[in-house]
Amino acid sequence: MNTAIVYYSMLGNSEMIAEKMAAKLGADVIRIEPDKAYPDKGAKKFLWGGKSAVMGERPVLKPYEFDPDKYDNIIIGFPVWASRPAPPICTFLSDQKDKMSGKKIFVFACQSGNGAEKAFDRIKKMIGIEKFAGEMIFIDPKTRVNADNDRKIDSFCENIGNGPASRFSTK
């Protein structure tokens, strides 16, 4: 089963998880970048990104290569911003959702506290599905080192390509 991991990461947490999953799965990695980068330091980071998320912005993306026909599984990874998926991932989803129908869609989110479940619900509505084939939440995995994260990555990856949809415990 061919797998693509599509992710956006401002501070490297989602990137770290995407790379670890890619190494386990032999998956292709597609990094999404907004054409105009968000400020990534200090209070501006929260103000600009938070406003963009709350306003439902769909920032223009840098060109990327993604051919959904090549994949059975698509993993979407992103940081939670204001209990929403970070806007660059929303742009990706609205651009690609029609071509992703019939694929098994998995998601993972990185966050500092909470909001990922709401972000997952928004994505389901956005792309018109009721349930993901798998979902996982990580708490700032780059800075808050936790041995449990590797176990979570393993269990997430083991499910990929293995039969019926399932839901993971995230605690």
- Closest approach of ligand FMN to the CB of residue 155, in Å: 20
Binding flag, residue 49, ligand FMN (CB under 6 A): yes
Least CB distance from residue 45 to ligand FMN, whole Å?
5
**30 lines the binding site for ligand FMN (CB under 6 A):** no
Neighbours of 33 (CB within 10 A): 15
CA atoms within 13 A of residue 108's CA, in its CB half-sphere:
33
Task: State which residue, 62 or 99, has the beta carbon closest to ligand FMN.
Answer: 62
CA terminus-to-terminus distance, the chain: 28
Using a 10 angstrom Cβ sphere, with 0-12 exposed, 13-18 middle and 19 or more buried, the burial of residue 49 is buried
Near ligand FMN by CB under 6 A: residue from 3, 13, 149, 159: 13
Residue ranges that bind ligand FMN, judged by CB under 6 A: 9-14, 45-46, 49-50, 79-83, 110-115, 140
